[in-house]
Structure 1
């Protein structure tokens, strides 16, 4: 690995760790807002999503520095199958989390005094359901493009 690549990798590693720590702190703050009934939940949820995206972006940039792009078709095939499997696992995780948050919100709504927390949980479940539907639409569009391409 070149000296310049080592510096860049170190920079992205430090940045990834920093944003990971900030993401964990914001997640703890979000949980405190939800369970203590403070009104900053939506703002913290938006910041949490942004911080997760920045952390993942820095991680993938760090991971790709210094790698050699092989033209081996077998490696490309294994990478494609791994990505496909990861995508399907992510779809299942999203739908299970959506159902869990929605059910938790409905259960809390049936009890008195938990309306605000219940609404937040139901909204999180609805957002996750929307993301799941979006992944299905994207999967269908990719299938159509590949079908007409072949």
Structure 2
């Protein structure tokens, strides 16, 4: 890998970690707003979606730096063996389900009489968000170990 590519990859890695930390803080702020009834939930939900997109964008830019478009047979074999495509699809399903459950819970919470179901949906969304954040952290740790081995 070229020296310039290493710098770019490090820059994207740092920005990914930064946006991931800000996303985690915004998730805590969102659920704090929901459970304390402060009324900033829509604004925090919009920021959460923007931060998740920024985190994903920087993460995938970091992974693409220094790769060649034409993969040889060995690269295709390694990709097939590790099933990285399935992992990426699972990450997207988890984050979309998290957003859907959270939005559904916020909508139900704003209506009277649906607090129990709303809290359940919000907690499910929070758990799915935590699982997504954990998978990104694990994948980042694996990338860092492989990066330092090479």
Aligned to 2:141: none
- 1:19·1:55 contact (CA, 8 Å) conserved in 2? yes
Aligned to 1:143: none
Q: Where does the alignment leave 5 or more consecutive residues of structure 1 unmatched?
A: 126-150
User: Aligned in 2, Cα 1:12/1:94: closer, same or farther, shift over 3 Å?
Assistant: closer
User: Aligned in 2, Cα 1:96/1:16: closer, same or farther, shift over 3 Å?
Assistant: closer
Q: Please say which structure displays the higher CA radius of gyration.
A: 1
Provide the secondary structure at the position in 2 that maps to 1:78: helix
Aligned to 1:52: 52
Cα RMSD (Å) = 4.3
User: Aligned in 2, Cα 1:15/1:90: closer, same or farther, shift over 3 Å?
Assistant: closer
Question: Is residue 2:76 matched to residue 1:75?
Answer: yes
Q: With the length of structure 2 as denominator, give the TM-score of the two structures.
A: 0.57
User: Aligned in 2, Cα 1:104/1:52: closer, same or farther, shift over 3 Å?
Assistant: closer
CA distance in 2, matches of 1:107, 1:34: 8
Tell me by how many angstroms 1:110 deviates. Answer: 7.4
User: Aligned in 2, Cα 1:57/1:97: closer, same or farther, shift over 3 Å?
Assistant: closer
- 1:19·1:51 contact (CA, 8 Å) conserved in 2? yes
Q: What is the total number of aligned residue pairs between the two structures?
A: 119
CA distance in 2, matches of 1:65, 1:37: 43
Any runs of at least 4 consecutive aligned residues in structure 1 with deviations exceeding 2 A, and if so which?
Answer: 71-74, 76-79, 81-112
- 2:105·2:118 contact (CA, 8 Å) conserved in 1? no
Aligned to 2:145: none
Tell me by how many angstroms 1:36 deviates. Answer: 0.4
Tell me by how many angstroms 1:34 deviates. Answer: 0.5
Aligned to 1:32: 32
- 2:34·2:106 contact (CA, 8 Å) conserved in 1? no
Aligned to 1:18: 18
Per-residue deviation, residues 19-48 of structure 1 (Å, max 9, x unmatched)? 111111111100100000011000000000
- 1:16·1:59 contact (CA, 8 Å) conserved in 2? yes
